[in-house]
Structure 1
Amino acid sequence: MSAHSIRRPGSLIVPSLLAVAMVLSGGCSSKAAKARTVTAQTGSNCYAKALPTVGEGGLAFGANLQTARQKSMNNCIRYAGRSGGTPGTCKVVLAECKN
């Protein structure tokens, strides 16, 4: 006796409808895709990075080194406090200006 699998015609309807719905709804998003990266604002030629001994640090851009350093320190204090780190130990470890 041989075993044959018998497919019912109705068993393909649901997967077919799901596939069609997925294909049609794929292009319906009204929002454009945006990359979530840190980018400098126009005129922000300098950047600085501050890190605590424990926790997350902060990166910031500014028109000059002093502004970038201050912003990165503020970000470091904020992020270190949120991540369970030590905000009082934040130090600027990198500060540079592009051309």
Structure 2
Amino acid sequence: MSATSTRRPLSLIVPSLLAIAMVLSGGCSNKAAKARAMTAQTGSNCYAKALPTVGEGGLAWGSTLQTARQKSLNNCIRYAGRSGGLPGTCKVVLAECKN
């Protein structure tokens, strides 16, 4: 008397599970990706860069030169503390508007 195994080989189960996982997660793939980098908003033709004496600074865009300067200074204060610098040493080093 010989016993036959009803178990499916592992080589068929793994691809089946992968196929099911891909089908179930496929609905999420059509979502629009969000931009990770800061980009200029429509109408923002002025930019400014602020740097601390040590650490990372901040670059920002704004509709006016004053707005860009303030945003970059705020970004510099935020990032300087995270990167080992002193937020109180942040200064705007570049500020201009494009044509």
Partner of residue 9, structure 2: 10
Partner of residue 65, structure 1: 65
Aligned residues: 92
Once the 2 structures are TM-superposed, how far is the Cα of residue 46 of structure 1 from its aligned partner? 0.1
For 1:12-91, what aligned pairs fall within 5 Å after superposition? 12-29=11-28, 31-91=31-91
TM-score of the pair, normalised by structure 1: 0.75
Equivalent AA in structure 2 for residue 72 of structure 1: S
Once the 2 structures are TM-superposed, how far is the Cα of residue 13 of structure 1 from its aligned partner? 2.1
3-state SS, counterpart of residue 27 of structure 1? helix
Equivalent-residue separation in structure 2 for 1:35 and 1:42 (angstroms): 15
TM-score of the pair, normalised by structure 2: 0.75
Equivalent-residue separation in structure 1 for 2:33 and 2:67 (angstroms): 31
Equivalent AA in structure 1 for residue 18 of structure 2: A
3-state SS, counterpart of residue 79 of structure 1? helix
Please give the per-residue CA displacement for 1:39-72, whole angstroms capped at 9, x wherever unaligned.
Answer: 1122211011111122221111112222211221
Pairwise CA RMSD of aligned residues?
2.1
Structure 1 runs (4+) deviating above 2 angstroms are: none
Equivalent-residue separation in structure 1 for 2:10 and 2:62 (angstroms): 62
Equivalent AA in structure 2 for residue 83 of structure 1: S
- Structure 1, unmatched stretches of 5+, are 1-7
Partner of residue 4, structure 2: none
Q: Structure 1 residues 22 and 9 mapped into 2: Cα distance closer, same or farther (>3 Å)?
A: same
- Structure 2, unmatched stretches of 5+, are 1-6
3-state SS, counterpart of residue 26 of structure 2? coil
Partner of residue 3, structure 2: none
State percent identity of aligned pairs. 71
